[in-house]
Amino acid sequence: MNTIIDTNYNFPNQKSVYKGKVREVYNIDDTSLVMIATDRLSAFDVVMPRGIPFKGQILNQIATKMMKETEDLVPNWLIATPDPNVAVGHLCEPFKVEMVIRGYLSGHAAREYSAGKRVLCGVDMPDGMKENDKFPEPIITPSTKADNGEHDEDITREEILSKGIVTEEDYLILEQYTHALFNRGTEIAANRGLILVDTKYEFGKTKDGEIVLIDEIHTPDSSRYFYADGYQERQNNGEAQKQLSKEFVRQWLISNGFQGKEGQQIPEMTDEYIQSVSERYIELYENITGAPFVKGDVSDIDKRIEQNVLDYLK
C-alpha cells in the first residue's frame, strides 16, 4: 500500500519544517507555507503505526474545496494546490485558540452534559436535552491550542481575553467568522443530505494584520456530520445517529482495548482493516463534497509531491 507517512524535502529558500500529527509544514522564505497532508492516522492524540491510502489527499481536497466555497465570507490563507496532497498558503501567526462551534449536544459536550454539567466553556446548556439534540442556537466552546502533542483544553471567552491570548477586538472578529462559516457549512451539508453537527476553525494573522482562516475546514477529521435522513426518527427512538467522521476509527480502537492510555497497546491493523478505513474515507469524501473521488497516482507518491511542489515554486 503506497502511502505518504513521512517527508524529508529540501525545497528552495526553505527556512524550517514543522511536523504535526498528520501534516508537515515547510516554511518557504518566511513568506509562504507548503502544507503536506500525509496519510498518517491519529486517534486519541496517538499516531497509528500504519498510513491510510489516499487519506491525505482526501483531507487536503475537502479542505481546499470548502475554503473556495467560503472565501466570499471569510478570507483564508490558501494560495494554490499544486498537488492532491499539498496546499500552499500565506505565512500567518496562528491564534493560540481553536474556535469550536457546536450545533448539537454531541461528543465532548454530551459527555460533559451526562456528567451533570450545564456550562461548557462559560456557555450555558439548557436542561432537559438528550444526546445529539439540537441546541436552540449554535454555541462557541473554544479550546486552547496545545503545543508538543499535549491535549487541547476547554477555555472560556473571559479567560481568553483576561489572559491576553487574543485581544477583544480580534476575538469579536473570530466569533463573527466562526458563526458565518458554520452557517455556510450547515447549508453546504444540508444540500448533500447531511447535518454539520460540530466543527473547529483555526485562524491566523497575515503580515499585513489581516485575520484569515487557516489549516483545514469541514473535513471528517475536524468535524462531525450526521445523515439528515432519519435523524429525527432516531432521536425520537433513542437510537444512535448515523455519523460521518473518523469516530468509526475511535470506536474500533475502543472495542480493541485502546484509548491512548499509558500501557495500552495499539491493536494490529491488518491490510484488510487498512483498506476498509481507506474506503470509508473515500465514502466520506464523496458524501461531503457531492463529487466522485479521483485517486491520485501513488506509484511514487513521495517523488510526485516533490516534483509538483518544485514545479510550482519555480
Q: Where are the beta strands (DSSP E) in the chain?
A: 14-19, 23-28, 32-37, 42-43, 46-47, 78-83, 86-90, 93-94, 97-104, 119-120, 123-124, 134-140, 143-144, 194-205, 211-214, 223-227, 243-244
Query: 159-168: per-residue pLDDT in tens?
Result: 999 999 999 9
Residue 47's φ and ψ, nearest 5 degrees, are -85, 125
78, β-bridge pairs: 89
pLDDT value, residue 45: 83
Q: Report yes or no: 53 and 298 within 8 Å, Cβ to Cβ.
A: yes
Q: Where are the domains of the chain?
A: 14-91+270-313, 94-244
Residue 202 CB neighbours (<10 A): 19
Which residues, 6 or more positions from 271, have their beta carbon under 8 angstroms from its beta carbon? 1
CATH of 94-244, one of 3.40.50.300, 2.60.40.10, 2.60.40.420, 3.30.470.20: 3.30.470.20
Q: Report yes or no: 102 and 142 within 8 Å, Cβ to Cβ.
A: no
Q: Report yes or no: 76 and 27 within 8 Å, Cβ to Cβ.
A: no
Query: In the predicted model, is pLDDT for residue 226 greater than 80?
Result: yes
pLDDT value, residue 251: 87
Which of 26-40, 117-131, 137-151, 175-189 is predicted least confidently?
137-151
pLDDT value, residue 151: 64
Q: Between helices 271-289 and 55-68, what is the axis angle to 10°?
A: 10
pLDDT value, residue 138: 98
Query: 39-74: per-residue pLDDT in tens?
Result: 999 988 899 999 999 999 999 999 999 999 999 999
pLDDT value, residue 44: 85
pLDDT value, residue 6: 95
CATH architecture of 14-91+270-313: 2-Layer Sandwich (3.30)
Q: Can you tell me whether residue 226 is helix, strand or coil?
A: strand
Q: Name the residue among 278, 280, 254 with its Cα closest to residue 267.
A: 254
pLDDT value, residue 85: 98
Q: Name the residue among 143, 148, 149 with its Cα closest to residue 200.
A: 143
Residue 150 CB neighbours (<10 A): 9
Residue 173 CB neighbours (<10 A): 14
Q: Which three cell numbers stand for residue 60?
A: 487536503
Query: In the predicted model, is pLDDT for residue 150 greater than 70?
Result: no
Residue 85's φ and ψ, nearest 5 degrees, are -100, 5
Q: Name the residue among 227, 267, 264, 232 with its Cα closest to residue 249.
A: 267
pTM, entire model:
0.92
Segment 215-224 mean pLDDT: 91
Q: Name the residue among 154, 152, 153 with its Cα closest to residue 121.
A: 154
Q: Name the residue among 273, 274, 256, 277 with its Cα closest to residue 265.
A: 256
Element of type H or E holding 283 = helix 271-289
pLDDT value, residue 248: 83
Which of 80-89, 179-188, 236-245 is predicted least confidently?
236-245
Percent residues over pLDDT 90 in the chain: 87
Buried-state track 182-192, b at ≥16 Cβ within 10 A, e below 16: bbbbbebbeeb
